[in-house]
Amino acid sequence: MKDKLNKLRELTAEIFDIYNAAQILEWDQQVNMPPKGAEQRGNQIATLQRMLHTRTISPEYSKLMEELVDYADELDPDSDDARLIKECKRFYDQKAKVPPEFTAEFYKAVTLAYSAWEKARRESDFKKFQPDLEKIVELRRQYAEYFAPYEHVYDPLLDYFEPGMKTAEVQAIFSALRPQQVELIQAIAERPQVDYSFLTLEYDEQKQWDFGVEAITKYGYDWESGRQDKSPHPFTTGFGVNDVRITTRVDRKYLPTALFGSLHECGHALYGMGINPAYERTPLADGASYAVHESQSRTYENLVGRSMPFWEHFYPRLQEFFPTQLGNIDLETFYKGINKIQPSLIRVEADEATYNLHIMLRLEIEIALMEGALAVKDLPEFWNARMKEYLSVTPPNDRLGVLQDVHWSNGYIGYFSTYALGNLISAQLWEKLNSDIPDLADQFRRGDFRELREWLRTRIHVHGKKYEPQELVRKVTGSAIDPAPYMKYLRTKYSEIYGL
């Protein structure tokens, strides 16, 4: 069986080389590609994805899977070999149910859709994106049907991003979480509001960039294994532990955009850089799930990056970058400003208390689209009405409303709930972290993030996709995904800031 396992590794390595080549083309599209290159890029990515798909469901690979699944049952269930076989089988099963021609069609559609979204967002005109999104919704419904029977049409899409999670589970978590968050937001609204006007002054773009680079360098981002570029929507992508790239975007009139975008994406990147190198060119060389990945980005963006100890170290340096804007703003005022609670239009710039409401809105929309209860053409009106209901704000245009996120243009229907689940996981990990490292705050005050990084690396990052998400969370924290620590964190932090 060792020979067969080695053959599996050989075939899997070729498959994931193709996968990473396609990922590089997608990265280039969002960072460097000229606008007119979309159709050719769509063909290129479609060809690579069809090749990947065809190789995965080849008779040789299929036969190996049949033979090795039984062999895996004889191994230590926590061994790398057993987990590799299990994850290869999951990857194979996903591909085997879907025709390669469908995969090629889908990837060509989303490549064209990204360019259409980029243009529509720039011009704030949803109708320029509508035909592409209608195509994507149709393809996602078709994809779900390949996995019938299911409990809910959304389940196959959610499972792609969050293995084992069901739509009903996410809805139950959100139903329990939403009234608690609404209650907290209402309590804060009744208190004197914090000033954040100093964040909306004119901030030099290059200086914002340079400060963000300093911050993520101290976090431990390895510039010999990564790079940062600009893109319309920040993202992280990796082609191996030694090539993990991030992007951000800069707003000259709002300081937090670039900074917290960089901190967020750096959290993703540190995860990718910390995976066991032995998992390279296999499906194990990835995060346990998108929610676990988001727990890392939200930790570095919020639990660390919006904490007082972080800014006790970094704020004097930020004042050196922007003496005119921040020279007369004391640390406490700045800290409260970056942690203001105020319903807002843009998800990626939302505060910690209202952020999950943005996610709940998107989940509701995606489920309605998949069920056929909502037509794509009615999305802007539906979006605006729900923004008013959920957050008491109404987008003035499509750019600040329904077109703000890149995910649907990438075909990522099923992804959004992982952001909120990631918030919950981050708070659970945070409790355990602070229990294990009592002087963590003092380390941050010194600008030392090494022990934080090492704790996360040894407990989360190094395992890659070896464990399922709920399994990994239980191993580290002792319980499954639980909203309670997150709500405790929010109430404690914002009671201090707003005097609740």
Whether residue 303 is found in the same domain as residue 447: yes
Task: Answer for the pair 113, 139: CB distance below 8 angstroms, yes or no.
Answer: no
Residues 180 and 250 reside in one and the same domain: yes
Could you give the number of structural domains in the chain?
2
Range of the domain at 100: 2-149
Average pLDDT for runs of 10 along the chain of length 500: 93 96 96 93 96 96 93 94 96 95 95 95 97 98 96 96 94 93 94 95 98 98 98 93 97 96 98 98 96 97 98 98 98 97 92 94 97 97 95 96 96 95 97 97 98 98 96 95 95 94
- Residue 155 belongs to some domain of the structure: no
Q: Per the structure block, which two tokens stand in for 486?
A: 């997150």
Give the pLDDT of residue 349: 87
Catalytic residue among 26, 118, 162, 265: 265
In sequence order, what are the residues at sequence separation of 6 or more whose Cβ sits closer than 8 angstroms to the Cβ of residue 81?
Answer: 5, 72, 75
Cβ-based neighbours of 170, under 8 Å, separated by 6 or more? 158, 363, 417, 421
- Does residue 236 lie in a domain region? yes
Burial of 347 (0-12, 13-18, 19+ CB in 10 A): middle
Judgement on whether residues 106 and 228 belong to the same structural domain of the protein? no
Residues 137 and 171 in one domain: no
- For the entire predicted model, the pTM comes to 0.94
When computed from its CA atoms, the radius of gyration of the chain, rounded to whole angstroms, is: 22
Residue 474 has a pLDDT of 96
Residues 6 and 109 in one domain: yes
Q: Catalytic residue at 66?
A: no
Residue with tokens 């606008």: 35
Q: What is the per-residue DSSP string for 444-461?
A: HHTT--HHHHHHHHHHTG
pLDDT of residue 432: 97
Cβ atoms within 10 A of the Cβ of 92, count?
20
Give yes or no: residues 347 and 221 share one domain. yes
Question: How far, CA to CA in Å, does 429 sit from each of 418, 452, 478?
Answer: 16, 11, 10
Which residues lie closer than 8 Å to 47 by C-beta, 6 or more apart? 104
Secondary structure of 397-444 in the HEC alphabet? CCCCCCCCCCHHHHCCCCCCHHHHHHHHHHHHHHHHHHHHCCCHHHHH
Question: Do 193 and 107 share a domain, yes or no?
Answer: no
Would you state the pLDDT for residue 500? 86
Give the torsion sign (CA, 389, 393, 398, 402): negative
Give the pLDDT of residue 233. 87
